[in-house]
């Protein structure tokens, strides 16, 4: 049999070419799969969530010229700046703020309706982080028994722990207990907060551990807290602080033992009249010690050192204490943000060396803003004022006596809410909805009450805009009151010095939102974003489940 050699070679070449194409296609599929796999496994080694307590958005722009290149400016320059970020509920307090940031929802669902509130079942006030079933660790104080048990939903920290089969660590750190406990979530390895008074230590509770880790014991023994009992003077020459008001004025509180609220402040000399180490909280050095402790936690807990993403939550609380004391227009607030900027820079430099530049992701926001001191606003002819609760209380009691013959149908009034005594209503054969509406009709006539709503209104309507929407997002049917009131703009239940917060107005709702680091685009937007968007965005970055009650949406324009 004669073989056509040329024909045979053509067939061999054809088969070889076919095999090569198939092999190449398969290899391409494998390369694509590998690339796809890397996409979902190349997560940041560490996520750091930073909350600056009582930080208005305009602090970023007002003090911009005083910041260095490595703190706020680094995040704004190299990361993504959401310039129109707001809280989408009322009340704007610390507990609800921290809970909303990390759960991706509002008090309507996560249940932290205030820092403390009237419990309708227990018939007493409860604190958002208090838990009588646990004990303090690192302190003998009965006041430090804390856990997240009143938080009804999961957090991004919880979801990351679940996703990584509990290998990814979650640790919360703050001066305030609620600023550490609520962000760290239910499954946290630890939450640490600062016990002042005569102790000056970071502590925890038996919810997390039976004793403090040795590195925390060592930190507490290092006398770091003592080192901050020093003179607080301005970081730069005070004459250059042109972004704030005069140093000596009538709108600031100051410290016991010092006649004027003006620089400098000798913290060591003043400590005995100002609750010992608590005075550190009311100075920018409270933020510095939190940064010190956060650095120690990253190093000693080896955060960001393996393939499972860890999450560290850090809340800087001294900004809030100082704002309440001195007000948002004070030299003290300006100096505090200048010093916080330095603390952020040294923290980021540490993360660059410890975790690796480009290997971690940071977001920074605030739990609420603050109003300008109303007495200052009055001095420059801006409408503002103070609420006269005594007169309001007397007027309301008279209404109750005249209309119902008793004041006992009201069980509690707090957090701008009225709680009705349901048993008393039943005894008097009164209809709940009729009484609610009668209260609204009465309260809306009072001085400095702008609006009033019933729980029936909050539960039976779907508001999408205005203060009604914010109230509804903050209204939890099982925990909130039966009637809600809204006070006039820039009118607060507070002393005539210092600032406060809690409303649904822009000065309380408009706060920074900066993303920076691995997986984050460089840019900025004026598109409106809301606090519950943060947790879904971080969840999307990590490829993990959203917190189980999340109502926010991932900000895809932030993610690279």
In 3-state terms the chain splits into helix, strand, coil percentages (rounded to 5) of 40, 15, 40
Residue 418, CA distances (Å) to 413, 421, 432, 451, 461 in order: 5, 10, 13, 14, 20
Rounded to 5 degrees, what are φ and ψ at 232? -100, 105
> Catalytic site residue 103?
no
* Contact partners, residue 421, CB within 8 Å, separation at least 6: 408, 409, 410, 411
Rounded to 5 degrees, what are φ and ψ at 29? -60, -45
3-state secondary structure of 327: coil
Interatomic CA distance for residues 112 and 108, integer angstroms: 8
3-state secondary structure of 232: strand
Residue 332, CA distances (Å) to 151, 217, 236, 249 in order: 34, 32, 12, 12
How many CB atoms within 10 Å of residue 9? 10
Which H helix or E strand runs over 191? strand 190-195
User: Prior bond to 91 cis, omega within 30?
Assistant: yes
Closest C-alpha among 180, 537, 553 to residue 362: 537
Q: 80 and 515 in contact (C-beta within 8 Å)? A: yes
Which residue in the list 41, 61, 92, 94 is annotated as catalytic? 94
Residue 297, CA distances (Å) to 31, 243, 301, 413, 438 in order: 39, 35, 6, 42, 55
User: Could you give the dihedral angle defined by the CA atoms of residues 299, 533, 513 and 523, in that order, rounded to the nearest 10 degrees?
Assistant: 100
Closest C-alpha among 168, 181, 329, 137 to residue 244: 329
What residues are labeled active site? 94
């Amino acid at each position: 049999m004669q073989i056509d050699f040329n024909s045979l070679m053509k067939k061999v070449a054809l088969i070889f070419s076919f095999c090569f194409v198939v092999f190449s296609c398969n290899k391409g599929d494998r390369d694509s799969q590998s690339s796809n796999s890397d996409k979902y496994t190349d997560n940041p080694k560490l996520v750091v969530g930073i909350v600056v307590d009582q930080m208005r958005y305009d602090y970023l722009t007002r003090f911009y010229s005083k910041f260095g290149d490595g703190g706020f400016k680094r995040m704004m320059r190299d990361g993504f700046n959401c310039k129109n970020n707001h809280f989408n509920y009322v009340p704007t307090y610390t507990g609800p703020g921290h809970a909303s940031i990390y759960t991706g929802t509002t008090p309507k669902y996560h249940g932290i309706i205030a820092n403390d509130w009237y419990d309708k079942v227990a018939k007493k006030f409860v604190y958002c982080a208090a838990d009588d079933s646990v004990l303090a660790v690192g302190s003998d104080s009965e006041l430090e028994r804390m856990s997240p048990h009143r938080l009804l939903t999961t957090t991004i920290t919880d979801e990351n722990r679940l996703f990584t089969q509990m290998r990814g660590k979650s640790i919360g750190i703050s001066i305030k207990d609620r600023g550490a406990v609520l962000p760290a979530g239910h499954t946290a390895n630890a939450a640490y907060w600062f016990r002042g008074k005569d102790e000056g230590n970071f502590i925890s509770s038996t919810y997390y551990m039976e004793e403090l880790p040795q590195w925390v014991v060592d930190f507490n023994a290092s006398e770091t807290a003592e080192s901050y009992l020093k003179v607080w003077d301005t970081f730069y020459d005070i004459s250059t602080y042109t972004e704030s008001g005069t140093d000596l004025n009538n709108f600031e509180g100051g410290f016991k033992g010092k006649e004027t609220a003006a620089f400098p402040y000798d913290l060591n000399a003043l400590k005995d009249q100002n609750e010992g180490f608590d005075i550190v909280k009311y100075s920018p050095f409270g933020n510095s010690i939190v940064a010190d402790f956060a650095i120690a936690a990253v190093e000693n807990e080896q955060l960001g050192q393996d393939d499972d993403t860890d999450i560290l939550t850090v809340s800087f609380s001294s900004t809030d204490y100082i704002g309440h004391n001195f007000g948002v227009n004070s030299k003290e607030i300006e100096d505090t943000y200048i010093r916080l900027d330095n603390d952020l820079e040294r923290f980021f430099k540490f993360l660059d060396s410890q975790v690796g530049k480009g290997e971690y992701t940071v977001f920074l926001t605030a739990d609420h803003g603050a109003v300008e001191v109303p007495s200052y606003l009055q001095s420059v002819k801006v409408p503002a004022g103070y609420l006269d609760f005594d007169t309001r209380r007397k007027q309301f009691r008279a209404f109750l006596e005249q209309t119902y013959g008793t004041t006992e149908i009201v069980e509690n009034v707090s957090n701008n809410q009225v709680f009705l005594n349901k048993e008393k209503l039943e005894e008097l054969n009164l209809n709940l909805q009729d009484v609610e509406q009668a209260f609204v009709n009465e309260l809306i006539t009072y001085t400095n009450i702008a609006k009033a709503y019933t729980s029936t209104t909050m539960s039976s309507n779907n508001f999408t805009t205005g203060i009604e929407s914010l109230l509804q997002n903050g209204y939890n049917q099982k925990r909130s009151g039966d009637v809600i009131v809204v006070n006039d703009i820039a009118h607060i239940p507070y002393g005539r010095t210092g600032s406060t917060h809690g409303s649904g107005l822009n000065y309380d709702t408009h706060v920074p939102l900066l993303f920076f680091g691995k997986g984050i685009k460089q840019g900025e937007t004026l598109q409106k974003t809301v606090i519950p968007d943060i947790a879904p965005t971080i969840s999307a970055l990590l490829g993990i489940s959203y917190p189980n009650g999340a109502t926010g949406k991932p900000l895809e324009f932030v993610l690279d």
